[in-house]
Structure 1
């Protein structure tokens, strides 16, 4: 596949599930805002035939081809039903026969972002994230947007940013400002100045820690506020449990943006606990940004 990042534009992984339908409808608006094209991609996993009958392989391949066409036709119909009449958003479809997760990961090399439902057709109802979504969150080469059928995103709400000073957080900050500017929305920047859930029973002046955190947050936002003067920024400084507060804030947001690793991560850690929890539990679509 090409290394050209505009080959796919906004890439949507489709599989015919309700979550996939929601991902398609979300991508329509994002494409209109960015004046970007959209690719609806369906990956057919190879089926292993254990008996030596060539006609069986041919029949399975034909069935998979028909199924893939139906899934893509459904996705394209949903796309056009949500596309604003005033915006000529270009959409194309593509079907690939390959192992699903590796094929999608490779495709993300040539995408602006990839949009996926939190669960697919093969996921059990009790699971919050499907294996395909989890694989993309760990290994994609572009930002990953996770949408849920339960998303109750407020189209007039703010963009919420989780910021902690890590390299991934810096990349997320850039994208969050861009998204807020495109949407004409406020930006809520949340920085939890402690990861602890229980404070030690000793006399510590926590105001000093909060003041230092507030100063650090202001410094990290200053350059981006100069670059995006149209974005009104609200700062939130909860003292602990960043994932909890980001999920709570998502109830009134139109989008949540986080980095893939936080300050507690290390080079070998592909997905941090905060980004994982937010992707699972958010009430609004989540963009996880890799540094």
Structure 2
């Protein structure tokens, strides 16, 4: 086990929580599948206190170091235990003294993917993404996978689910989704909603026109990718409204959801706030959020 961060691999933030353990297991399997290095990072936030309170925490740094060592050692054991290929030994660990989100965002510059639990040791409820996962999906320089500890056992033959919108930013998510489906040897479901809000029937509304436009968007966004990944069977899914609701619903029959980090609105993170964040909060399977400039490489 090396105490350094490897470049262009998969990084997982660990803190000893159930969410962290789930993230380690998923990241280890992903790294083994990709043949990529796996780096476990435990971030220790510096304590700032004035005398006389500071004297009460004289040994806190030593305790933090011991705790970090324990968390990382257990994390490495967890990673090895869940990977069937005994030849997979490219696992590293590192302790960083910093604020958690800035440290992981900085580390994401040299990684293929960052994996975190849906919430950490201080979270209060299932329906709220933790501050770390929320910060990362907004600011990471590479794709971010958000993992839940209570997720049901995923069917290995289930497809990858891709959320497609009409923006150029969804191209990176499409690339990653095809890559993930091909690596898993499964199909891909590409879902497109031609409206971000609930739609109610109106007199004279030409539904066929909207449907035709939706099919055009799907065809445009998938063009070239099916030729590049002929092994991936693609099923197109067109819905009329509320993409988050449909993605969550469709995720019940998938093993991974891939969404972009921004969309039709044109404002960075706006689409993520309304769709990607909702899916990451509610889906019981891993959710992979891909920034517009992110591309995966196997």
Q: What TM-score, normalized by structure 2, do the two folds share?
A: 0.91
Aligned residue in 1 for 2:207: 206
Distance 2:248 2:213 in 1: 24
- Is the Cα–Cα contact under 8 Å of residues 112 and 143 in structure 2 kept in the other structure? yes
Residues 1:256 and 2:257 are matched in the alignment: yes
Aligned residue in 2 for 1:280: 281
Q: CA deviation at 1:29?
A: 1.2
1:126–1:246 Cα change, 3 Å: closer
Which moved further from structure 2: 91-100 or 210-219? 210-219
Q: CA deviation at 1:252?
A: 1.2
Map 1:93-104 → 2, pairs under 5 A = 93-104=93-104
Distance 1:97 1:175 in 2: 32
The number of residues matched between the two structures is 287
Distance 1:121 1:268 in 2: 26
Aligned residue in 2 for 1:118: 118
Q: CA deviation at 1:52?
A: 5.1
The CA deviation string for residues 41-72 of structure 1, in whole angstroms up to 9 with x for no partner, is 00001112221587655411001001111111
Map 1:118-137 → 2, pairs under 5 A = 118-137=118-137
Q: CA deviation at 1:143?
A: 0.2
Q: CA deviation at 1:200?
A: 4.9
Q: CA deviation at 1:265?
A: 4.0
The CA deviation string for residues 110-142 of structure 1, in whole angstroms up to 9 with x for no partner, is 111000000100111355211111110111111
Q: CA deviation at 1:228?
A: 0.7
Q: CA deviation at 1:272?
A: 3.5
1:94 counterpart SS class: strand
Distance 1:189 1:53 in 2: 56
Q: CA deviation at 1:7?
A: 1.4
Residues 1:192 and 2:196 are matched in the alignment: no
4+ residue runs over 6 A deviation: none
Q: CA deviation at 1:204?
A: 1.2
1:230 counterpart SS class: coil
**What runs of 5+ residues in structure 1 fail to find an aligned partner?**
none
Aligned residue in 1 for 2:179: 178
Aligned residue in 1 for 2:92: 92
Aligned residue in 1 for 2:32: 32
1:97–1:263 Cα change, 3 Å: same
Map 1:36-55 → 2, pairs under 5 A = 36-51=36-51
**What runs of 5+ residues in structure 2 fail to find an aligned partner?**
293-298
Map 1:69-88 → 2, pairs under 5 A = 69-88=69-88
**Root-mean-square deviation (Å):** 1.8
- Is the Cα–Cα contact under 8 Å of residues 8 and 38 in structure 1 kept in the other structure? no
